[in-house]
Amino acid sequence: MLTTWFQGLLFGIAYIAPIGLQNLFMINTALAQPRKRALRVALIVTFFDISLAVACFYGIGKLLELYPWLELIVLAIGSIIVMYIGITLLLSHGQSADQSKKDNRFSYKSAVLSAFSVAWLNPQALLDGTMLLGAFRISLATNVQNYFILGVAVASFIWFISLTTIVSVLKDRFQPRFLVLLNRICGVIIIIYGIKLLITFIQKV
């Protein structure tokens, strides 16, 4: 059981670590917000990431296969929200730590919506997660499956908290000009990803 849990932990790190929408969102939050606030957002991101992993592990992807209209809804809404997040980053300005503490534009409602969007409204994450986690579930004995997904959940918590902490600790060394550049690069990447989702939606329609 411990071996299965550790296998899930290693899989979770390998699955989350590559640069994706969630990591980009978390890096920008850690740079723009005070550490305590960024860590709270990291917990929100972790919650949605774990809930998505659990859903994929137990077969939510089958719903997308059985009901094509559901996939179309996810693609349509996901593409719009993802592009909105990208545009927001593209238009944002770099902030120092002192400036971020005075930033009144932050809202947890917006943070929750963004965290939900980069996880649950990301069709690629839904489909890839279903294939990868679903394949592992099939290969495991029934009595140890829960230990595997528990390891994945712990990996998610460790990764996002560690990423946020490291970026937050180092952010004072970054010049505002660098933060603006990073925001714009991340914004462009996310907008391109949103356009890709929209194109996929149009092709399926």
Question: Taking the model in full, what pTM does it have?
Answer: 0.77
> What local confidence, expressed as pLDDT, does residue 135 receive?
67
> What local confidence, expressed as pLDDT, does residue 100 receive?
45
> What local confidence, expressed as pLDDT, does residue 175 receive?
65
- pLDDT (tens, 9 = 90+) of the chain, 205 residues, equals 788 998 889 888 887 877 578 888 898 899 889 999 999 999 999 999 999 999 888 876 567 667 778 778 877 887 887 788 778 777 766 554 444 444 557 889 989 988 998 888 877 777 777 777 876 777 688 888 899 999 999 999 999 999 999 999 988 887 667 767 777 887 787 788 778 878 888 988 8
> What local confidence, expressed as pLDDT, does residue 178 receive?
72
C-alpha span between 83 and 154 (Å, rounded): 30
